[in-house]
Structure 1
């Protein structure tokens, strides 16, 4: 990822932070809409899960400039997800839900350049 794309993602995430609860709600609603079979992988009460999502995004976004520092954490998270039944194919669906969330949450600020930067970011994190 280029420094410019990292900066775009980090600057946009500053706009997402104040609407974190709403963003998590949009994310999971869309995820379960496009992939209802994934719902059974999650707890009935999603409040803790939504908080974890936003915390994980925050850590990843804030460390994009030094991704190697969070690689062990991301790898551990990936291993946990395997034990929950997550398959490689699910990452595309999650990426789609994330981009949808950003489009809704950021509105006109979600430019094609920002979409590309977030797509690259998600690809880098998901590859881990």
Structure 2
């Protein structure tokens, strides 16, 4: 991930912060709409789940230049998600939902470059989670 990628992700995330809870809810809504087979894997309050996801993205965005600092936490999340039944092939589904939600929320601000930057961030995070799920 380049410094330009980091700047694009940070700038777009700053735009989303005021409505982070709604963005999180929209993301899960999109994922369950596009991939209803995943709904049964998510137990409990989805509002709470969306808040947790947005907090994790906030932490990741704050440390983009050093995602390894979150390595242990992200791997633990991957292991937990594996225990819930999330499989490696489910990560691209969340990626699709994230990118579609960002496009919807950011409108014209979600440029090709911004999409590419978010894809790189998500792919790095997913890779670390998948490593954690293997352990």
TM range (shorter): over 0.9
Matched residue, 2:62: 62
TM-score, normalising length: structure 1: 0.96
Q: Do the aligned residues in 1 keep the contact of 2:30 with 2:97 (CA within 8 Å)?
A: yes
* Alpha-carbon distance in structure 2 between the residues aligned to 1:51 and 1:106: 19
TM-align CA RMSD: 0.9
Which string of whole-angstrom CA distances, capped at 9 and with x for unpartnered residues, describes residues 52-110 of structure 1?
A: 01001111111111111011111111000000000010000000000011001111100
Greater shift after overlay, 83-92 or 19-28? 19-28
Find the counterpart in structure 1 of residue 72 from structure 2.
Answer: 72
Q: Deviations over 1:11-57 (max 9, x none)?
A: 11001111112211210111001111111111242111111010011
Aligned residue in 1 for 2:110: 110
- Determine helix, strand or coil for the equivalent of 1:70: helix
- Please report the TM-score for the alignment, with normalisation by the length of structure 2: 0.91
Pairs within 5 Å for 1:1-128:
1-128=1-128
Counterpart CA distance in 2 for 1:117 and 1:47 is 27
Equivalent pairs counted in the alignment come to 128
Q: Distance in 2 between matches of 1:79 and 1:50?
A: 19
Consecutive unaligned residues of structure 2, counting only runs of 5 or more, are: 129-135
Q: Tell me, in whole angstroms, the C-alpha distance in 2 between the residues paired with 1:75 and 1:25.
A: 24
SS at match of 2:14: helix
